[in-house]
A and B are shown apart, each in its own frame.
Chain A
C-alpha cells in the first residue's frame, strides 16, 4: 500500500481522458481493427525482413496483446469513473469543470495507466501522421490533446519515481 501514487486532475481533464480511453477501447474491439494502421502500430512486426517468422509471431502474440490493452484501458476507465459527468448547462459548470480531484493508484494500476496513456498517444500520432519528431500539426486540435497526453504521461512517470 505504501507504494500508492496519488495523481491530481481537474474534473474536465478526467472527463476528457475517460472519453479518449473509451474511444480507444472501441477502436480495439472494432471488427476492422485488424486493418487499422493505428492498431498495427500497437502490434508491430517483430521480423520486418522475414515474412514467415513475422506471421508466426503475430499469430502467437497479437490477440493476447490487444486483449491486455483492453483490460488495462478498462482499469483506467474504472479509476476515472469518479469524475462523473459535466453538464455544460449547469450554472456552476465552469467551477465544476475546474474542481480538482485526486486518484490513488496502486503499482498494478500505475502500470496500466502508463501503458494506456502511451498507447492512446500512439494512436493519436498515427491519426495525426506524426512520422518525425519535427511534425507539429499545431492547427489540428487533436495535436493539443496529443501534447497534453504526453504531459500527463511525464507527470505520472515523475510521480512514480519519487516514491
Chain B
C-alpha cells in the first residue's frame, strides 16, 4: 500500500504542492479583487473540492491510456490494494485541501477583520464532502472501466447535473405529486428521448432500427419508474409505521402529513393516498420491463443494455435507497424518542447520507476491482 501511495505521489510530482498553492493564491486574490466584504465566507468552500478534484483529475490523466491497467496490474501487488489505494488517495487529496483551507482562513484572519473560528472551518469541510465523496465513488469505477479520465468525468457530471438531481427531485416531492403530474413526467421523458434519438441519428447519419428506437425511451422510463416506485414504497412504509407507533404525531405536521392525518387511522386511508401513485408508476415500470425484456431477447444490443444498467440504474438505486434510509432514520427517531427532534433535519440527512455512502462505497469498490481485471483491450 505504501509503495502504491508513494508511486502516485512521485507520478504527481510538483503538482501535489502546486495545485493547492495556486488555489490558495487565487482565493486570496479573489477575496480582495471581488467587491464585497465577506468574500472569504464563500471562497472557503472551494478549497477542499477544488484541491481534491484537480489532483484527482491529474492523477487519472496520468493513469489513462491503459498505463494503470498494464503497469500497476502487472506489478506484484494485489488488485484489492490497487483499488483500495485509489480511494485512499481521495482522502489524501482532501487532507491537502483541508491544509490549504486552514492556511486560507489563517491568512484571512491576519489580513482582514475576520476571526478564525472552528464552525467556519467545519462547514467549509463538511458541506462539500457529501458531493465530493459521491463523485469519487462514481468516478473511480468509471475510470477503471473506460481507462480515460474524460469519459469518467463526463459520465459522472452527466449523473450529477442531469440524472440524479432530476430523479432526486421527483422522488423527494413524491407525496406531493399526484397521478396527473406523474403522467406528465413520463410524457416529458418520452419527448426528451425522441429528441435524443433524433440528435443521435442525425449526428451518426444512421437509419434507426426499431429495437434501438424502443431502447432509449424504455430505459429512461424504467429508470425513473424504478426510482419512484422505491421512494413511494419508502414513503408509504414510513407513514404506515408512524400511524401504528405514533398516531398522535400527525397533528404536528404540515403539508402532506396533515392531509394524511385527515384520513388517517386505518390502513385503507393510507392505501387510498398511495394507490394512484403506485398504479401509475407500477404500470410504467411493468410496461418498460416487458419492453426491455423484448429488446433483450430479440435485439443485438445486449452489451449496450448491460452497460446502461450498470451506469444508470445503479445511481438511481443508490439515490432512492438514500431516501429510503432517510425515511427510516426519521421514523426510527420518531418511534424511539419520546421528545421527537423531527425538525432537526440536518442530523437525519447526515445519518442517511453516510449510511448510503457506505453502501455506495462497497458497490463502487466491487466494480472498480472487477473492471481492473476485466479491462484492457
Asked if A and B are interacting partners, one says no
